[in-house]
Amino acid sequence: MKAIRFDRYGPPEVLQLRDVDMPVAGDNDVLVRVRAASVNPLDWHFMRGSPYLVRMLAGLSRPRAGAARLGADMAGSVEAVGKGVTEFRPGDEVFGGLDDRGTLAEYLSIRADAAILPKPAGVTFEQAAAVPVAAVTALQALRDKGHVQAGHKVLVNGASGGVGTFAVQIAKALGAEVTGVCSTRNAERAASIGADHVIDYTREDFTRARGRYDLLVDIAGNRTLAETRRVLVPKGVLVAVGGPDKGRWVGPLGRSVRMALWSPAVSQRMVFFLAHQTKEDLAVLRELLETGKITPVIDQTYPLSDAAAAISYLEQGHARGKIVITM
């Protein structure tokens, strides 16, 4: 089968489309023929080995064999199941997200108890593959970390990217009044997916605006903590889910240290987190998809052979929604 692999850290050119051994489903596994996958910022962090913290997980000088693969989202069809699996059958269409990596491949062997579920009705493989990592991140940021309730005012800084487009829609589904921050070319899209208000950052500084919010979901991470705190109510919450790759050692995680140092001294709560894939949260998203409350926004689609181009485009930081890879 074909899969994306890399032997050294570096730019997208290190990625290679290779023939690798077909995986085999163990007793408690599901063998999936992958029809679509998507890419996320964590993929290019692992590809480049940057920040250096990544290399503590994947290999210091070069990626270990098990880490030399990319992709955590997928959608496809079940080819075979292990003898201990009763939840799935061959032919089932499934989607899900993996905490380990490797979905940029034609076939995957996945534990049946991992975060995979039947694909939502009426959703394409490409749309389903766009969901898990980005939408679970948005859901956990809003519900678990931000404790959003109906009537809350939520600001999403970075409303046009993969996580941002889901955050706008999920916040609306939870009953919030949503303001999205994005560029001029994305303002219409943000409004079309449910943003009640849109701030064009090329024309207005959202940290200087009059509005005050119960929750700021900060995906762009392009303003200081002092600036972002200005837009929150006294007991508001700042949830950071990303940011620029600054610093060789810990990159965006350096912001989490600053937030931890600040939090005891201010009235607002500041949280930095990394999402964790669960069946339970995937089930919540599946229902939102089937009821039409969220719709994946896909910017561009690439074949598996052009995975390097897809990662390169994602690294530029201007994706309007998700980048999907088809098999």
pLDDT in tens, 294-311: 999 999 999 999 999 999
Cβ proximity of 51 and 247 under 8 Å: yes
- Which one, of 193, 144, 187, 188, lies nearest residue 168 by Cα? 193
CA distance 86 to 245: 43
Task: Report the SS3 class of residue 105.
Answer: strand
pLDDT tens by residue, 20-59: 999 999 999 999 999 999 999 999 888 998 877 777 777 8
User: Quick check: do 2-131+296-326 and 133-272 share a fold?
Assistant: no
Superfamily of domain 133-272: NAD(P)-binding Rossmann-like Domain (3.40.50.720)
Ordered alpha helix ranges (H), the chain: 41-48, 52-58, 125-129, 132-139, 162-173, 184-192, 225-229, 254-262, 279-290, 307-315
pLDDT tens by residue, 103-153: 999 999 999 999 999 999 899 999 999 999 999 999 999 999 999 999 999
pLDDT tens by residue, 226-267: 899 999 999 999 999 876 555 554 455 666 666 766 666 677
Confidence check: pLDDT of 285 > 90: yes
Residue 242: the pLDDT is 72
Confidence check: pLDDT of 216 > 90: yes
Extended strands (E) in 51-125: 73-81, 93-97, 107-111, 116-118
C-alpha angle with apex 201: 196 to 203, nearest 5 degrees?
105
pLDDT tens by residue, 62-109: 888 778 899 999 999 999 999 999 999 999 999 999 987 899 999 999
N residues, the chain? 327
CA distance 182 to 160: 6
Task: For residue 51, say if its preceding peptide bond is cis, omega within 30 degrees of 0.
Answer: yes
Residue with tokens 């009235």: 267
The domains of the chain are located at: 2-131+296-326, 133-272
Residue 247: the pLDDT is 52
Residue 238: the pLDDT is 95
Q: Which two tokens stand for residue 124?
A: 């394409």
Confidence check: pLDDT of 1 > 90: yes
Q: Mean pLDDT across the chain, nearest whole number? A: 92
- How far separated are the first and last CA of the chain, in Å rounded? 11
- Between strands 153-157 and 2-5, the pairing is unpaired
Residue 60: the pLDDT is 81
CATH number of 2-131+296-326: 3.90.180.10
Cβ proximity of 73 and 130 under 8 Å: yes
- Which one, of 262, 212, 216, lies nearest residue 241 by Cα? 216
Confidence check: pLDDT of 158 > 70: yes
Residue with tokens 């940021």: 141
Residue 249: the pLDDT is 45
CA distance 154 to 146: 9
Q: Whole-prediction pTM value?
A: 0.94
CA distance 131 to 268: 30
CA distance 193 to 277: 24
